Structure 1
Amino acid sequence: MSGSHNGWADLFSAENRGSAITLSAGVALYATNSYIVITILPSVVQDIGGLAWYAWNTTLYVVCSILGSALSARLMRTAGPRGSYLMATAIFIAGAAICTAAPNMPVLLLGRALQGLGGGFLFALSYAMINLLFKESLWPRAMALISAMWGIATLVGPAVGGIFAELHAWRWAFGLLLPVTSLFGVWVWRILPKSRHDRQPDEPLPLMQLALLTGAVLVVSAGSLSSSGLINLLGFVVAVAMILILRHREFTADVRLLPRNALRRSSPLYGLYLVMTLLIIGLGCELFVPYLLQHLHGQTPLAAGYITAAAAAGWTLSEVASSGWTGRRADGAIICGPLILAAGLLLLLFTVPVAFGLPWLNISGVVLGLTLAGFGIGLGWPHLLTRVLQQAPEEDREKAGASITVVQSFAAALGAALAGTVANFAGVDKGDSGAASAAFWMFLLFAVPALLAVWIAWRSVRVRRLQGRAKTSLSGDLSQG
């Protein structure tokens, strides 16, 4: 098949255009909401309090996104493409409405939980439907398009959040989502089919694995509320134990969360999932960047939001640029990506905690560091996701599509929880000195998973190459025989 039938023009052909717009628009809502909230959070806690719960706004949102991601396949089987998207949209709208009227942090967190559940459905349904709506040669392009919505979010999210924050009207940032999301629902009603042609029977939910996955994140988050290092460490240890139990459960349970044998070290999926997890955790410290920029560098909410969005811009740029790569170029992107992420975090280590020299030069270093961090993740991201779908057993393809967002959401929630732990322990609420200390330790510690991902990515690529050579050799022997 010629490359001309596998490019962007084919993705936006009359046959595919409606589906491509629908899937990408759902993720655009999820992503834009994320950047709106990251931008307005400093203003929110200034108005209704709850700095100790700062990271929970993201953690709880993403934990509920995990549940939405895990339940998305069942929802689509039960309600069909159109019904599942409409239900996800309704839940998202309900969460936005609660956030708009929230009088205090607990109520806001309730709204964020509902937003996360609805957003998780939208996010996972987009990936899960790629292999149903598009031919395999278009999967990398479709994934790049969906991920490119984070680039759109970097333009829209900080602008919406920053403008309303500077007007001291952060509630209207949530309120604006209500009509926009409603219009998306109308579009879904017109475009998506009501039912699937390949309707499959429901299977039981992996309730134990879901409980362990979300519990691990919540344990770390709960520990972050304490200033005691022992409590923080205990939360981390319990979380690791829960993840190990989950891994064992995936081997023995009849109902699995991930494709069969995905968590065995010999499985190619194991390395792919691990690299994805470490990359997303490495960017978890991004959550506190707007707060740090406003308190340590005197930036306005709007400016801080746009500076923070440089990470997503870098991610989008590299993902779109590398989505057409194959073979060794794709392998190189997977290996080099984590190294670039680590370089970006180390640059932030020297530019965020302390303002030095000319302000524009200092901020330029912050922007470059964030851009490099995002660029490093996006460089190999479409190839990691494509290989997850390719390596999954045929009967688990749908589960593999949903697993992408489960793994990504889990890593994002864990990254946010760990960032909250480091920030609270370092004294982020103790003035500028505490904020500087939190920034230093966050960027230093979060470079560790990025560097670890370099080694795991190299091993994963090496194993894939060896397997490819073995298959080629076997095919040659069979043809000669």
Structure 2
Amino acid sequence: MDFDLEQPAAVAGNAAAAVAPKPTGWGDLFSGKHGIYTFALAGGVTLHAINIYIATTAMPSVVADIGGLDFYAWATTLFVVASILGSALTAKLLNGRGPRGAYVLATLIFALGALTCAIAPSMPVMLVGRAIQGLGGGFLFALAYALTRIVLPEHLWARAIGLVSAMFGIATLVGPAIGGIFAEYGAWRLAFSSLLPFSVAFAVLAYMTLPGKSWDSTERVAVPYLQLALLTAAVLAVSAGSLSSEIAWNLTGLGAGLAMIALIAGVEARAEARLLPRRAFNVSTPLGALYLTIALLMLAIQPEIFVPYLLQNLHAQPPLWAGYLAAIMSIGWSLASFLSSRWQAHGDRLIVLGPVLVLAGLLLFALFMPINGAGDWSLLLPIGFGLLLVGFGIGVTWPGLVTRIFQSAPPTEQDLAAGGMTTVQLFFMALGTACAGMVANFAGIADPGGTDGAANAAVWLGVIFATAPALCVLVAFRVVRLTGRRG
């Protein structure tokens, strides 16, 4: 089944052109061809998100079986680094293969990664599998945003973005269950291989329903190879530094990463093939402030990767419950994204409120997670509430940030704006994950380890990463000043 793809009126010629306001309901998003495309966008992100929570929940059991605790954070770091490459190459993939071919190829790459993880005999092989999964997942994630702009009219963007974000909520119900149940029975390999039949089914569905070409398929897409190499090197430098317990090596890795980010900014100013729209590195511009907001929010949430480990070792939670408690952050993100798409009349307030809630949540994390509670629910309640606040803060801000990026980008750089948003998001997730590994290792999570090492790591993770949303509050006020009241 093939559907003609019309150029939506909201993005024809100028994506930021004003359109006559009209009432928008969820029924508009799910009706006719809109419903078909919405289902595809949401389905790909759901597959990607479920995998994230399966891996997060299963990793303590993985390292217990095949070793590699020192590389615990690298399983996430390499996954996100590869996702960055996938997101940055999505425009090229979409241009060359069209929506149908892009989704099918992305899903098959993702499935190959899941298979590699399932048969991994050691942590190095597991890291290779996670990287392959990340590449496919990055494609699926970025394709959702790219097709939102292409196939849907502007008045549906906020709802579509809210729905796509809400898919992480569905993933929190499925992913931790799969990962936790299999982990408790010592069958973590089956947790990864369980994704294979769903991946194949989604590839078939994408082939049958998505259009072969998009209306802008004649646009020339250039790949910024140098910037991508620098991005990858920046994350790997910080990750390599994080493996040492010596502060000198930690700071060397971090300094090298920051230096490469500065190089990227310099290259972007002169390059023809770019990752981001022009002047996106200038925080005095709307796009610069918006991208910086996304960067700080992504940094803030990275202690999440250690939540299952900390809950199991400090609060005597089994893998299944530790996975679900860790997923509370994403439930908050999904719930707030779903609700905030209806609150865009108060968009300016939501932009500022988000980082305030994230800051409050991380402070609760720093106060209550380090206490060795032995399963005491009086401690788990404030921890869970803190995680919920972190996720809710990001979700309440997210649809407004994404739509303002689309609206602020020049009409000739809409593809760069869409792909760049995902690249910034994933890059700072990877950078933040590497920094979280650095902080946790320096605080003693592996040496001396045990409950003392876990408690010390929890304190440092909460306090240090709380600085990101604190700075983000200031940047959010700049966003409001530069972009005005927009939905």
Answer yes or no: is 1:230 the counterpart of 2:245: no
| Structure 1 segment 41-120 matched on structure 2, within 5 A | 41-120=59-138
| Structure 1 segment 215-254 matched on structure 2, within 5 A | 215-254=233-272
- Secondary structure class of the residue paired with 1:254: coil
Of 353, 357, 374, 1:340 maps to 357
Post-superposition offset of 1:401: 1.1
Q: Residue type of the partner of 1:347?
A: L
Of 445, 452, 456, 2:471 maps to 452
Partner of 1:417: 434
Post-superposition offset of 1:357: 9.6
| Structure 1 segment 145-294 matched on structure 2, within 5 A | 145-294=163-312
Partner of 1:355: 372
In structure 2, what is the Cα distance between the partners aligned to 1:445 and 1:198?
A: 44
Partner of 1:436: 455
Post-superposition offset of 1:360: 1.1
TM-score, normalised to structure 2, is: 0.94
- Secondary structure class of the residue paired with 1:205: coil
Q: Percent identity?
A: 50
In structure 2, what is the Cα distance between the partners aligned to 1:158 and 1:199?
A: 39
Q: Residue type of the partner of 1:88?
A: A
Cα-to-partner distance string for 1:44-89 (whole Å, 9 max, x where unaligned): 0000000000000110000000000000000011011100111101
In structure 2, what is the Cα distance between the partners aligned to 1:462 and 1:79?
A: 40
Partner of 2:4: none
Post-superposition offset of 1:356: 4.9
- Partners of 2:300 and 2:469 within 8 A in 1: yes
- Partners of 2:92 and 2:222 within 8 A in 1: no
Post-superposition offset of 1:358: 7.9
Q: Give the alignment's Cα RMSD to 1 decimal.
A: 1.3
In structure 2, what is the Cα distance between the partners aligned to 1:434 and 1:274?
A: 33
Post-superposition offset of 1:349: 0.8
Partner of 1:479: none
After superposing the two structures, state which structure 1 stretch, 185-194 or 263-272, moved more: 263-272
- Secondary structure class of the residue paired with 1:172: helix
In structure 2, what is the Cα distance between the partners aligned to 1:203 and 1:333?
A: 34
How many residues are aligned here? 465
- Partners of 1:258 and 1:399 within 8 A in 2: yes
After superposing the two structures, state which structure 1 stretch, 427-436 or 198-207, moved more: 198-207
Of 420, 438, 445, 1:403 maps to 420
Partner of 1:140: 158
Partner of 2:17: none
- Secondary structure class of the residue paired with 2:401: helix
In structure 1, what is the Cα distance between the partners aligned to 2:167 and 2:431?
A: 23
- Secondary structure class of the residue paired with 1:28: helix
Q: Residue type of the partner of 1:440?
A: V
Q: Residue type of the partner of 2:414?
A: R
Post-superposition offset of 1:324: 2.3
Cα-to-partner distance string for 1:192-216 (whole Å, 9 max, x where unaligned): 0112233224333111111111211
- Partners of 1:355 and 1:362 within 8 A in 2: no
In structure 2, what is the Cα distance between the partners aligned to 1:203 and 1:100?
A: 35
Cα-to-partner distance string for 1:252-299 (whole Å, 9 max, x where unaligned): 111111112211233210000001110111000000000000011110
- Secondary structure class of the residue paired with 2:214: coil
After superposing the two structures, state which structure 1 stretch, 203-212 or 110-119, moved more: 203-212
- Partners of 2:282 and 2:289 within 8 A in 1: no
In structure 2, what is the Cα distance between the partners aligned to 1:396 and 1:213?
A: 21
In structure 2, what is the Cα distance between the partners aligned to 1:143 and 1:203?
A: 24
In structure 1, what is the Cα distance between the partners aligned to 2:215 and 2:153?
A: 16
- Partners of 2:50 and 2:174 within 8 A in 1: yes
Post-superposition offset of 1:325: 2.4
In structure 1, what is the Cα distance between the partners aligned to 2:216 and 2:280?
A: 25
Answer yes or no: is 1:303 the counterpart of 2:294: no
- Secondary structure class of the residue paired with 1:321: helix
Q: Residue type of the partner of 2:445?
A: V
In structure 2, what is the Cα distance between the partners aligned to 1:144 and 1:120?
A: 19
Post-superposition offset of 1:181: 0.6
In structure 2, what is the Cα distance between the partners aligned to 1:149 and 1:283?
A: 18
- Partners of 2:315 and 2:373 within 8 A in 1: no
Q: Residue type of the partner of 2:198?
A: V
Q: Residue type of the partner of 1:389?
A: F
Post-superposition offset of 1:366: 1.0
Residues 315 and 181 of structure 1, relative CA distance in 2, 3 Å threshold = same
Of 12, 28, 37, 1:10 maps to 28
Post-superposition offset of 1:2: 6.0
Question: Which segments of structure 1 move beyond 6 Å, counting only runs of 4 or more?
Answer: none
- Secondary structure class of the residue paired with 1:129: helix
In structure 2, what is the Cα distance between the partners aligned to 1:361 and 1:36?
A: 27
- Secondary structure class of the residue paired with 1:171: helix
In structure 1, what is the Cα distance between the partners aligned to 2:55 and 2:61?
A: 10
Post-superposition offset of 1:437: 0.5
Partner of 1:370: 387
Cα-to-partner distance string for 1:93-130 (whole Å, 9 max, x where unaligned): 11111111000000011010000000000000110111
Answer yes or no: is 1:461 the counterpart of 2:480: yes
- Partners of 1:260 and 1:393 within 8 A in 2: no
Post-superposition offset of 1:463: 2.5
Post-superposition offset of 1:14: 1.8
Structure 2 gaps of 5+ residues are: 1-19
- Secondary structure class of the residue paired with 1:428: coil
Q: Residue type of the partner of 2:433?
A: A
Q: Residue type of the partner of 1:411?
A: F
Partner of 1:477: none
Post-superposition offset of 1:218: 0.8
Post-superposition offset of 1:3: 4.4
- Partners of 1:59 and 1:416 within 8 A in 2: yes
